[in-house]
Structure 1
Amino acid sequence: MEPSETDNRFMMVKSVDDGRSWFEVDGDSRPSLGDLEGVGSVQVANTIHIIHQTSDEVVHHAFEMSDGLEQSDAWVVTTDTIAQPSEPPTQVADVVARSDGSLVAVYGSATGLYWQLRSSTGEWQPANPVNPDSVGMPVFSGPVLLTTADDSVVLAYTSADGQALVRVLDNQGQLSVPQRLSDQIGTREQDVGAILPLVGMPDGDVVIVYRESSGLLYERRLSALQDLGPAVRVTERAVVSGAVDSDQVGADVIQHEGTLHLILIDETSRDIYHTRSSQPGEWSAPVPIVEGIDAGWLRGSVHRQGSQQAVYGFVYDAGSQGGSGFNRYLALPL
């Protein structure tokens, strides 16, 4: 929740009626740290881990979801500072989990990105620069992570000179040589978060969708052998970026049973559209699913409603103009 730049707090809200109504849980224990800026999260069993970068520090929060028996919904880590890097141009963060329960987090600094490992027993290790030789180079930002089947971590990010790049972090802590996704990302602050959440496919490919400065979305695929496929345009509709101080592209993508589903905010109308892809490089014509609003951002995931129907459930800003109170939820049947 961010009613203003000076009055903001994390809130965990829950729905027990398939998203028709929502309420806060464990509000008395919510983290007191404000300055909601760069945030990434991952679910491990019943625990949601959150990495949060402010202007001054990087912190870890964790929320334990009810198991329906003895464990109630509760904040279990309110604020654990894991790093205090120099202030980055834009606060950014993401986090993923490996099969042993360890976490890999990434965040920004004045000179670029750092990655940091949390062991399966809960100890944070020293931070590591993504690019140790950063002097005189464009600052990296906008990181997005994905864990693969062999527990490698794919890292995609942007640079201040308008590039998007991808690398792979192996189990030994070694990063592969960067591969360039695009050199047309743009150099404005709102171009930093140009890369959508990464998606793993059943065949082992990683789908990387990003927005270029033209406003158009493109898809590339990274194989399990780290071969990078050609760029394919997703849609001819320009997509909004950096709306309501979000510093991210107004689009989201998921995979269900081998089919990609992508939702986007049209740059002109600010309506929300949906497109899908069942074959590599082939996207359906976008269809409107929410109209007549001034959408700012959206994020979602695949889950099942009470009937066990798989849905693409997502939360979107329906026209806050930078304030609060306009977050909405929609479930798109899959």
Structure 2
Amino acid sequence: MAGAAVPTGEGWSSRTAFILAAVGAAVGLGNIWRFPTLAGESGGGAFVLFYIICILLIGLPMLLSEILIGRHGGSDAYHSVVKVAEDSGRSRNWGIFGGIGTLNAFLILTFYSVVAGWVLYYVGVMAGDFLGALFSGNPLAGALAAESPDTIPSRMTDLFADIPMLLGMHTLFMGITIWIVARGVTDGIEKAAKYMMPTFFVLLVLITIYGAFTGEFAKAVAFLFTPDFSKLTPAVMNDALGQALFSLSVASAALITYGSYVSKETKLAPTAGMIAFADTGVAILAGLMIFPIVFAVGLDVAAGPTLVFQSLPIAFHTMTGARWSDCCFSSSSFLRR
């Protein structure tokens, strides 16, 4: 029925819980994996500048609008849009945009779950290394200690050739995702966000600091924040706009759905601002985490989707006493999506 209330009657336990959950919906592999990939392929600074402009002028207003639609509609994306349209004296056919958003979410999941499977593979590799080193009496050795930085990037090629492993990791990720969602808003999504998001932020900052001291940090800063406007082509601007909207999870029904659980007392404008700020901050930090390593070991900044999976394992390889962060960082980065 159009405009039906959220069937479970659940809601976020607090404004902080909603912010963490919404940030969890926005911040994810799109920031850690896709942003550095596009920044590297698009020449760095000009892409980053236009990306931030798109966040402020387009992404943030859309983010606020979707949360507001969800809170007013109090239902799924389709029925929330229908209710807003009817209450505004407009045709209920506007609901099709809520349906398109839901379809978008499904399509995003079809490839996100594959990439998350790659992350799970590396979680297993790191965990196996930790246990092996623990039993060998050398628990402080770096991850992938038996391999050289020259051979570590080839792991991605080997993984792509291992179809059973890819299918297994994808299935495992989907199982974990279904388990969390099936537990509901309060006991599932909210509880996961409360633990995973703070852990994720701490580890992201720690690894960025590590890269600043051990990698080519100055070169990475120059690459990300010195715009070369000759590279700001229409294709680059389109990529920046797409990344801004994709990163904030707008037009994918997620924020409308999350908004349907928000109390009427929550002030949405500052909340949306905090979500956008956190999302953009994580993307920039991800660049500052990845590119010092990329420049230090001579990887190609335009390597594409495999860039993060080539650079982070090399960082973990050299990080003694940090095996725990190998696993925690990798797992927290995919479980939030």
TM-score range (shorter-chain normalised) is under 0.3
Bigger helix fraction? 2
Between Structure 1 and Structure 2, whose CA radius of gyration is higher? 2
Bigger strand fraction? 1
Q: TM-score, normalised by structure 1?
A: 0.22
